[in-house]
Chain A
Amino acid sequence: MRVAGIANVERRDRGCAGGRARGGASAKGEVGTAKDARRRDAGSTEPSCRRGTGSVATASPATVAGRERGASARRWGAPRAWLLAWLLGACASNQSWRHNAPELPTHAPLVVAPRIERLGPSLLHVRRAGPTTAIGLVLRTGAEIDPPLASFTLELLARGRDRAVEDALGELGGAIEVVWLGDGALLRVEVEASAWREALTIVTAALRSAELTAEDVEALRRERQAALQRRDGDPARRGLHLLQRRLAPRLDALGEARATAGWSIEHVRKAQEQWLRARPALVVVGEVPQAELARAAAGALGEWRGSSAMSAPASELAAARREVLVVPRPGLAQTAIVVGRAIPGDADDLALELASAVVGSALREVLRRDRGDTYSVAVSHAPVRSGGLLAIETQVDAVATGASLRALLSQLKAAQGRFLTGDVLRLLGRAFQVERMLEHQRLEAVVEAVARLHVAGRPDDALAAELRRLGGVRDDDVERALSRWFEPAAMQVVLIGDPEVIRAQVEPLGLGPLKVIDTDL
């Protein structure tokens, strides 16, 4: 009966997550914008030309009807032909106005960012009226944390002994989840608005719970192993994971089956202690009285024994190796291509985001439309202070593996020094401003956005500052990002597909030796 989220639908690809593809569609806008302006003019004049031929309509099926009748009119004689032509012309003119687009707005669209209010050192609030409230408990990760075990432990704590925490939140309409942020983690739940106090108490208490048992560990381990199987069964996800493990291991929250099999309750308790060393922050999004919220948060976090600091992980940027990693999947009709590199934590994220859109658009145009090798191409950047990941993902017809890979790398090369006009960049920036607003419609998305600011150590007004900067992005920033981060020689290539097909097509490209990987790293 659920009407939202229709399952089993076939959806036209928008490209990379978050609609960035479409922002990127503009990449060809460096000619596209001007071209479009010409087309708009042409759109107005084209029908006139057709009318000049004596035909009264502009396109089929009206065109066909018009032309047939026009021919008949010549046989009927001039007066009747004139009358008919006038009538048809009048009808046609009713539609010909459609060639003219409505007038373009003269000003940029309004954009607004969530306003974050800091109610204490560890309490951030965003006001949003509505029937629900979202709560996030944000934890920073330190150097000592092993991401897969740490996320596993958080999931256990979020669930509680024999799912007691999950059940208690379920009574409030909530379903708790763990979101891995690379620089930290987020326990997030959305509940009926009137239940925020109770939910806040339950979530903060869950993290300090000492009640977990070996049975809880075993139950979640089974689920984690099933999740690993689902991930690795999907060629694209398997490839991305391999890239993460090699270049940005702090993004890898799921880990691998062999390590998962070895975790015990003792491992979990130790990981829990590590989490408790740092004082978490609370993010609340909803219509909540602030004085009452501050009191509730103080009650929940006030006696937290941990400090608010945790040793930051060292920034050791992994370099791509001069080899092509191949995960064999004999018989696959498509080869999954994942290409990427590590990105330092101090990179200009916004410029990289815009540059990714430019590259994504170019790749889609070439691989999807021109060559017909793929359905989708996604370019993404996951920032992490100690080293994030830039990844390009696509799945191509197996017989075109080598040619597609060559075209992809060639496009990356072509992106170096690509000239982007101020108008194109302005529109690209606007597209991303609107994208940010779209992303922040949901309460849970706002919680995550604020949590990401917090773990990255960015100021509370960073969301608003981002919007402003997107509106005034500079061409040299984007061009620098293109030349600095999309150099093909610095990219690690991962391929998942039929090994014989891959070998025959990729070895001649001279990208380095092929290294076959079919087990845990």
Chain B
Amino acid sequence: MLAAVLALLAAPVVTPGQDAHYRLDNGLEVILRHDRRAPLVAVRLRVHAGSVDDPRGRSGLAHVVEHVAHEGSTHVDRNRREGLEYTLSAHANNAETGFYATEYYYTAPAQATEHVLWIEADRLGFVRGQHGAPTLAGVRRIVLNERRQRAEQDPLARLEIQALTALFPAGHPYHGAIIGSADDLAATTIADVDAFLGRHVQPGNATLVLVGDLPAETPAWIERQFGDLPAQPRPPARTVPQVIRTTELRVTAERPVGAAPAVLMAWPSPALDAEGDAAADVLAEALERGGYVRLARAEGPPEAAEFQATQRSLPNQSVFFVRVIGRVGGDPARLVAEVDRVLARVAEGALAEPAVRRARLRLAREHRSALQDLQDRAAVLAAEAAAGKPLGGTQDVAEWTAVTPAEVARFAREVLRPEGRVAVLAEGEA
């Protein structure tokens, strides 16, 4: 009781029931958003460390740490946590590791909020030193199975890993896969895990987002659970060198993806929120929704049966992907030639205002729709905070809305040049 009163007194001035964005004294960034459409709360803890922070020779370490953190912390071991999740109906939880962040999240009944904060605070402050080699061995086994399932079984997933491996040189943080190489996973030790936890998993390097039907006591609970975790300086951001290709690199796929040929292309592209990033989104959307096929068929039946494009926006440098699947009996080199013809036409301004406008409108509406889900909204807020944007999605929508056909053409002209990319070509099965 005394501790709760002290925590309340120490809590930052946050008006109960009001949205807030503040930092605790130890540096933890907190974002609170009230949304009472359902008696649920989404809690998201974003640790600003991901696979770019993997030490050399330890690819996949950030992801391994995510799994180890799932195995329990000093005061909340795994069985106890899972039992509580069950008791509280807080079963909707997961974690994910990206290039730049690892996120742990729950969507739970509002009455479970304090428990979830207790669990996440222990995860942020008390995992290091808690596990030994047996835990790591179990985690490694699960991660290797995950790697096989996600990165090796599906041939299309393999294409992407091949592309990133070829596009970014060994040692570059984007080289290979977030999940790491089998050799590096085998070499990882519990000391590596603890070193990563000690350096990166700490309040000054994290953002806590809560969205939903937040109880009035939420700010006090946050202060109580997280406030006395020790402050540490935020680790310096890892250097991510810019990669620029001046000659095209074509790579043969490790194995066919099916009866028809397929090609995956990857270009280094403008960083998250840099000039050209929004244009890349609009271009990908416009090409996928009919834009590609309309431009391709001008010279006869298209080679591509399916076209997909995406701008994977990342700090420092992004990656623009194009994936095409051809027709049975087709030739992957002809697919590449068709993509080049279409992109050349886009660069000349062939993607007109109606196609660009529809893409802009769809992106903005999809963004609004995503905010209906409390956890998705929490993810957006956490990402916006990490990028230093105003919270609420207005900047993204404004940037998409401002994209013109001329900017789309310029992006195609300046970024999507054949010499600037890696292409992975898969022949159809004989």
Contacts and interface: CB of A to CB of B under 8 A. Distances in A.
Interface of A: 1-14, 19, 21-23, 25-26, 29, 32-33, 35-37, 39-40, 43, 58-61, 63-64, 94-95, 97-99, 101-102, 104-105, 107, 109-112, 130-132, 163, 166-167, 170-175, 190-192, 218-219, 222-223, 225-227, 229-230, 232-236, 257, 332-334, 336, 368-369, 372-376, 395, 397, 427, 430-431, 433-435, 437-438, 441-444
Interface string B290-330: 10010000000110011000111100000000000101100
Contact of B92 (A32, A35, A435): A435
A22 B67 CA distance: 16
A175 B312 CA distance: 21
B97 interface: yes
Given A1-B400, A58-B74, A173-B362, A434 B92 contact: yes
B369 interface: yes
Contact of B148 (A10, A60, A95, A333): A333
B257 A233 contact: yes
5 contacts: A2-B281, A3-B396, A4-B367, A23-B91, A170-B361
A434 B126 contact: no
A109 B89 contact: yes
Interface string B353-379: 010011101111111111011101001
B369 A8 contact: no
A225 B281 contact: no
B66 interface: yes
Contacts of B171: none
Q: Which of A36, A170, A219, A433 has the most chain B CB within a 10 Å cutoff?
A: A170
Contact of A109 (B67, B96, B112): B112
A336 B3 CA distance: 53
Given A102-B115, A170-B362, A225-B328, A376 B149 contact: yes
Contact of B108 (A39, A332, A434): A434
Interface stretch (B25-33, B137-145, B242-250, B408-416): B137-145
Contact of A441 (B84, B361, B366, B374): B374
Q: Most chain-B CB neighbours within 10 Å: which of A225, A230, A434?
A: A434
B86 A25 contact: yes
Nearest to B179: A10
Given A5-B370, A109-B110, A229-B258, A29 B83 contact: yes
B49 interface: no
A369 B258 CA distance: 33
A115 to B, nearest CB: 13
B404 interface: no
Contact of B178 (A9, A101, A368, A438): A9
Interface in B128-165: 128-130, 138, 141-142, 145-146, 148-150, 152-156, 160
Nearest to B152: A333
A290 B396 CA distance: 33
B138 A225 contact: no
Nearest to A91: B228
> Which 10 residue pairs spanning A and B have beta carbons closest together?
A36-B83, A22-B91, A173-B365, A109-B109, A170-B358, A226-B306, A60-B129, A3-B383, A222-B305, A229-B258
Contact of B95 (A2, A12, A37, A369): A12
Kindly state the interface size class of chain B when it binds its partner: 35 or more
Contact of A102 (B66, B77, B118, B154): B118
Contacts of B155: 233
Contact of A6 (B98, B280, B325): B98
B400 A26 contact: no
Contacts of A174: 362, 365
A1 B311 contact: yes
B260 A36 contact: no
A431 B272 contact: no
Contacts of B66: 10, 12
Contacts of A8: 98-99, 160, 178, 312
Given A223-B306, A226-B306, A334 B148 contact: yes
B96 A229 contact: no
B278 interface: yes
Given A1-B396, A8-B99, A112 B383 contact: no
Given A3-B396, A167-B354, A191-B365, A12 B272 contact: no
A39 B83 contact: yes
A334 B150 CA distance: 11
B384 interface: yes
Interface of B: 3, 37-40, 63, 66-67, 70, 74-77, 79-80, 82-89, 91-99, 107-112, 114-115, 118, 121-122, 126, 128-130, 138, 141-142, 145-146, 148-150, 152-156, 160, 178-179, 221, 228, 257-260, 272-273, 277-278, 280-281, 289-290, 293, 301-302, 305-306, 310-313, 325, 327-328, 354, 357-359, 361-370, 372-374, 376, 379-380, 383-384, 387, 396, 399-400
Contact of A59 (B129, B306, B364): B129
A434 B96 CA distance: 22
Nearest to B262: A229
A227 B327 CA distance: 12
Given A229-B259, A441-B372, A442-B373, A7 B153 contact: no
A4 B290 contact: no
Contacts of B149: 334, 374-376, 395
Given A25-B86, A39-B83, A99 B92 contact: no
A171 B148 CA distance: 42
A453 to B, nearest CB: 20
A372 B374 contact: no
A375 B145 contact: yes
A235 B153 contact: yes
A112 B38 contact: yes
Given A1-B313, A101-B76, A173-B366, 5 more contacts: A1-B311, A2-B311, A22-B91, A167-B290, A230-B258
B368 A131 contact: yes
A427 B86 contact: yes
Contacts of A102: 114-115, 118, 221
Contacts of A26: 86, 91
A437 B38 contact: yes
Contacts of B228: 94-95
Contact of B365 (A1, A192, A229, A433): A192
A333 B146 CA distance: 12
A104 B90 CA distance: 13
B362 A175 contact: yes
B126 A98 contact: yes
A21 B150 CA distance: 19
B85 A25 contact: yes
B112 A105 contact: yes
B183 to A, nearest CB: 15
B85 A35 contact: no
B87 A36 contact: yes
A7 B293 CA distance: 25
A443 B272 CA distance: 29
Contacts of B221: 102
Contacts of A376: 146, 149
A171 B361 contact: yes
Given A10-B178, A225-B305, A395 B96 contact: no
Greatest chain B CB density within 10 A among A11, A25, A32, A97 is at A11
A170 B291 CA distance: 13
A216 B67 CA distance: 48
Contacts of A372: 138, 141-142, 145
Contacts of A132: 365, 368-369, 372
